[in-house]
Amino acid sequence: MGKAKKQTPGQKLLVQNKKARHDFEILETFEAGLVLRGSEVKSLRDHKASLQESYIKIEGGEAFWVKGHIDEYPQARTFNHKPTRTRKLLLRKTQIRKLHSRVRERGLTLVPLRIYLNDRNLIKMEIGLARGKTKGDKRQAEKKKIARREMREL
């Protein structure tokens, strides 16, 4: 479960949150669509975005991506967007209800893992239902990583 998901041939990775897998134990992943403006799509296709410090919140039966940063697109001029605006996520109601009930559990949160283009050229976000790691958990993960690296070198 803790392994990073490999990119399938039909997907093109736009942005990835590497720190999320270091700071959190990912229990389950979901795919969500994003409601974006045209200038946001252009910036994402240029890989001009950041998932650091952003999170997913569920409010009023809808899911939102909060504090996600997408750079302004220079050619959009007056039709540009605010870089850190809250963006709606497209999930099924059953998924939202399931996630909302799980998030209310102690210590679970929703974190964005990556944004990519799927095989139909639609921008999608991979969301992880996660539990925060303690300092000891991070050390254990680092030891395992070093041991795997040493085994490959032999």
Report the alpha-carbon distance of residue 136 to residue 142 in Å, rounded. Answer: 10
In our burial notation (b when 16+ CB lie closer than 10 A, e otherwise), range 76-96 reads eeeebbeeeeebebebeeeeb
Q: Answer yes or no: is 70 within a domain.
A: yes
Q: Answer yes or no: is 94 within a domain.
A: yes
- How far apart, in Å, do the first and last CA atoms of the chain sit? 26
Report the alpha-carbon distance of residue 34 to residue 46 in Å, rounded. Answer: 17
pLDDT band at 2 (very low <50, low <70, confident <90, very high): very low
What are 89-120's pLDDT values in tens digits? 999 999 999 999 999 877 799 999 999 999 99
Find the domain containing 142 and state its range.
13-153
CATH of the domain at 85: 2.40.280.10
Q: Answer yes or no: is 137 within a domain.
A: yes
Report how many domains make up the chain.
Answer: 1
23, 132 Cβ separation under 8 angstroms? yes
Q: Whole-model pTM?
A: 0.82
Closest by CA to 69, choosing from 95, 82, 50, 46, is 50
Q: Answer yes or no: is 147 within a domain.
A: yes
131, 24 Cβ separation under 8 angstroms? yes
Tell me the residue type at 3.
K
Judged against a pLDDT cut of 50, whether residue 39 lies above it is answered with: yes
Residue-level pLDDT at 111: 95
Residue-level pLDDT at 135: 86
